[in-house]
Chains A and B, each alone.
Chain A
Amino acid sequence: MLGGLLAAAALLYLLASVLMLTHLVGATSSPPARRAATLALGGAVASHVAHDLLRWGAAGRGPFAGIHEGLSTLALVVAAVALGLRLRGGRLETLGVFVAPLSLLMLLASQGAGARPTTPLSGALLGVHVGSTILGTAAFTVAFALAAAYLVQEREVRQKRLRGMFQRLPPLEVLDVASYRSIALGLPALTLGIVTGLLAGVQEAVGRGLPLVEWRHYLALGVWGVFASVLVLRLVAGWRGHRAAIGTIVGYASAVMVLFGYFVRGSGR
């Protein structure tokens, strides 16, 4: 049952991605295709939520135990944001085309070969750590999607292609400002996640006699540094548009590398 729901969610994320992409690059806008994409994304989110709730009920704990479950929850949060934007309407609704494939990849990664049972979370500190890290990373994922959309839309404008994608993607400035706000929201959340994570780690390390600081802590701080730089450069040096979008994508790519590192090296905590 649980596996079936997750498989349905994955298939629907895939279907939503294909439908949204087809709609975005199509020569003309097709309202039925647009509705079908929204339904597929809605179905994916519903299946994903149902899976997590059932597992929660079965395991007696939230879906946050370890990096793998956290990743699946992250996939769900960003997909829910994309669905919300889609249902609200307006030009940001096309963001789903960049988010749905990410949700699919994150969901698959969470169930991938590297996935294995992890230690259930305990303690308020770890709860705050996981919650704020997921919120921060979700905000960065949305910022990444917005930055990617910015670069695509910028390319359309620069290459003077004013039909199709240009008409369906949000205005450049809307994308730029929304990306900035996502980072501005994500950075404090990630800061809190890192600080609480370090504190929880220290507590655990002291108790178990492990080293206080590990390589992944430096990587996490590196990701934080990239996003903080994007924000600071924007405020201080007027970094906007193209540069800010590239900075955001670099920041997100580094976050993905950190996650990859967690998978490869493993994290028992």
Chain B
Amino acid sequence: MSGLVVVGLNHRTAPVEARERLAVPPDGLEDAVRAVLALGGVREAVVVATCNRVELYALGDEPDALAGALRQHLLSRGGAGVSLYEHRGEDAVRHAFRVCASLDSLVVGEPQILGQVKEAVAASRAAGGLRGGLGRVMARAFQAAKRVRTETGIAEGQVSVASVAVDLARGIFGDLVGRKVLVVGAGKMALGAARTLARAGASLLIANRSFERAEALAREYGATAHPLSDLGMLLQHVDVAVCSTGASGYLLTRHDVALAMKARRGRGLFLIDIAVPRNVEPAAGDLDSVFLYNVDDLERAVAEGGHGRAAATTDAERVVAEELSSYRAEELAQRGAGPTIVALRRRFQEAAAAEMERSLGGRLRHLGEGDRAAIEAMLDALTNKLLHAPTVALKEAATGADDDGVLRAARTLFALDAEAGGGRPELTAVRAPGGVAAKAKAGTGR
């Protein structure tokens, strides 16, 4: 995968102030992919945008030019002055595997990232950004992530952002029974934190731009629903507010919070802002009795609580290395055994097409279109079945020590080299509605 390049920034290279400038809302992913595809020289693209990272994966023929274009693209979109990282070829594949396996996350082992990359891949597919190569990389990355979660203890005993939020709320208020928690927006992480706080005895209030959505969530979570326009009033009465809307500007300024604090007569307020871009003006956290935590603060706290997972992380890195090696072997196999497999399929399809044409032109000429299609599909299925085992054997042989012997044997047994010399009729693969059949095109000897 030498043409694969990834350029991006994450929680390690850029603070939330920088990441929020490049944030892509979930419904903007497809447009973001189209914008990358429009850069020129980009065959395939995936845009991964979470609250912790913005990464552009692109496949093209000129990695240097591609990397430059991706960098320029990010810089022009608000990334000026931000340190961007870049991975190419196998390093880029490894990076994708590690990201999906949550090994590159601030909270190693956190489960959200896999779902977020899957959403990014779905958006890319919808925008026409996947044609095979990059899709294969991502599929293998998902497979690696699944193995990491099931075969290592990386997710065990994981301290989640929600539980840190509860610890913090307890550190500020003590008992949470009867406390009021306001959820602003409908982000999964915010609702998760709110649910954990509710389990600790707090009552929930949900405010959303769409009141219908707030009502639906309120029913689901046993909360009360409020329109977003009530935010200022609600802030006067709640103890904790978790903000996670997709608003591009501050939903709560320092002034708004100061006004609420005046009405609260100094009662403590815990603001959790897990939105990127941020919903709460950072200066609000300087107010007396206001404790403001953003996504970086919470995740850093979670990461600090992640002691004892070193062994699981080592195991996870080993799984990723195995998956990478397996992917590499598959790619090599496809490259090494590829021409032989293609020639072999062509030989079988050619034979099937020739026989079919002969029969349909002779004894079976009375058959209608439907019957002809059925026979074509049957021949197709037969070809695939017969070729499955040899294809797998050729791929495996190509990665083993004795690849040359098996490949040579296959080429000799089926006279594939003769075809390469041009002594065979020219065939064109025609995709039939039910599958692939080969039809002989008029050529020498026909």
**Could you tell me which A residues sit within 8 Å of B by CB distance?**
91, 153, 157-158, 160, 162-163, 166-167, 170-174, 176, 237-244
Separation of A82 and B110 alpha carbons in the complex (Å): 42
With both beta carbons as reference points, the residue of chain B lying nearest to A234 in the complex is identified as B266
- Are B171 and A240 in touch, CB under 8 angstroms? no
Cross-interface CB contact of B267 among A91, A162, A240, cutoff 8 Å: A240
A167 surroundings in chain B (CB, below 8 A)? 167, 171
Which of the 9-residue segments B95-103, B142-150, B286-294 touches chain A? Answer: B286-294
Between-chain CB contacts (< 8 Å), 18 pairs:
A157-B172, A166-B171, A167-B171, A170-B174, A171-B170, A171-B173, A172-B268, A173-B174, A173-B268, A176-B268, A238-B266, A238-B267, A240-B266, A240-B289, A241-B268, A241-B289, A242-B288, A242-B289
Measured in the bound complex, the distance between the Cα atoms of B170 and A176 in whole Å is 14
Q: Which residues from chain A contact B304 at a C-beta distance below 8 Å?
A: 162-163
* Known pairs A241-B266, A241-B268, A242-B289; A91 contacts B174 (CB<8 A): yes
Residue-by-residue, is B256-275 near A (CB-CB < 8 Å gives 1, otherwise 0)? Answer: 00000000111110000000
**Which residues of B sit under 8 angstroms from A91, Cβ to Cβ?**
174
**A240, B265: Cβ atoms under 8 Å?**
yes
Question: Judging by beta carbons under 8 Å apart, are B289 and A171 in contact?
Answer: no
Residues of B within 8 A of A238 (CB): 264-267
Q: Which residues of B are in contact with A by a Cβ distance under 8 Å?
A: 164, 167-168, 170-174, 264-268, 285, 288-289, 291, 293, 297, 300-301, 304-305
Distance in angstroms between the alpha carbons of A5 and B288 in the assembled complex: 46
Residue on B with the closest CB to A235? Answer: B265
Residues of A within 8 A of B301 (CB): 160, 162
Given A162-B305, A171-B173, list of 11 further CB < 8 A pairs? A157-B168, A158-B285, A160-B293, A162-B171, A162-B304, A171-B172, A171-B174, A173-B268, A176-B268, A241-B288, A244-B266
The verdict on A158 contacting B172 (CB below 8 Å), with A172-B268, A240-B267, A241-B268 known, is: no
7 shortest interchain CB distances as A-B pairs: A238-B265, A240-B266, A171-B174, A238-B266, A241-B289, A174-B174, A162-B301
Given A157-B291, A160-B300, A162-B164: A239 in contact with B266 (beta carbons within 8 A): yes
Shortest Cβ distance from B299 into chain A, in angstroms? 11
Count A-B contacts at CB 8 Å.
Answer: 60
User: Which A residues are in CB contact (< 8 Å) with B264?
Assistant: 238
B135 shortest CB reach to chain A, Å: 40
Docked-complex contact B288 and A173, CB < 8 angstroms: no
Chain B residues positioned under 8 Å from A176 (CB to CB): 268
What residues of chain B lie closer than 8 Å to A172, measured between beta carbons? 171-173, 268
Chain B binding surface, main DSSP class: helix
Task: List chain A residues, Cβ under 8 A from B297.
Answer: 160
Distance in angstroms between the alpha carbons of A2 and B264 in the assembled complex: 54
Look across to chain B and name the residue whose beta carbon is closest to the beta carbon of A169. B171
Give every chain A residue within 8 A of B265 (Cβ-Cβ).
237-238, 240
A238 to chain B, nearest CB (A): 3
Residue of A nearest to B293 (CB): A160
Q: Which B residues touch A242, using CB under 8 A? A: 288-289
Contact B293–A173 (Cβ < 8 Å): no
| B266 and A243 form a contact (CB under 8 A) | yes
Distance, CA A243 to CA B287, complexed state (A) = 11
- Whether the pair A162, B174 counts as a contact (CB closer than 8 A) is no
A192 to B: closest C-beta gap in Å:
29
B266 touching A153, Cβ below 8 Å: no
Distance of A170 Cα from B171 Cα, bound (Å): 7
Residue of B nearest to A241 (CB): B289
B168: chain A residues at CB < 8 Å are 157, 162
CA distance A158 to B172 in the complex (A): 11
A153 contacts B171, CB within 8 Å?
Answer: yes
Q: Which residues of A contact B268 (CB under 8 A)?
A: 172-173, 176, 240-241
State the CA gap A162–B288 with chains docked (Å): 19
Instruction: Tell me the smallest distance from the CB of A146 to a CB of chain B, in Å.
Output: 13
Instruction: Say whether, besides A162-B164, A242-B288, A157 and B171 are in contact (CB < 8 Å).
Output: yes
**Do the beta carbons of A243 and B288 come within 8 Å of each other?**
yes
Minimal beta-carbon separation of A121 from chain B (angstroms): 42
CB distance from B5 to the nearest CB of A (A): 35
Instruction: Kindly name the residue among B266, B268, B304 whose own CB sees the greatest number of chain A CB atoms within 10 A.
Output: B266
Report the Cα distance A149→B204, complex, angstroms.
30
Cα of A237 to Cα of B262 in the assembled complex, Å: 9
Closest B residue to A166 using CB positions: B171
Complex Cα–Cα for A33 and B268 (A): 33
Which residue on A lies nearest to B305, using beta carbons?
A163
Give CA–CA (A239, B297) in the complex, Å. 28
Complex Cα distance, B264 from A60, in Å, reads 55
Residue of A nearest to B287 (CB): A242
Report how far A49 CA is from B183 CA in the complex, Å: 54
Residue of B nearest to A158 (CB): B291
- For the complex, give the distance between the alpha carbons of A173 and B178 in Å: 14
**Most chain-B CB neighbours within 10 Å: which of A91, A171, A242, A244?**
A171
Chain A residue nearest to B297 (CB atoms) is A160
Note all chain B residues with C-beta closer than 8 A to A163.
Answer: 304-305
Cα-based distance from A144 to B390 in the complex (angstroms)? 83
Taking the nearest CB of chain B, how far is it from the CB of A9, in angstroms? 33
Q: What residues of A have a CB within 8 angstroms of the CB of B171 in the complex?
A: 153, 157, 162, 166-167, 171-172
Query: Within the assembled complex, what's the spacing in Å between the Cα atoms of A160 and B167?
Result: 12
A237: B residues at CB distance < 8 A:
265
Q: How far is the CA of A244 from the CA of B297 in the complex (A)?
A: 27
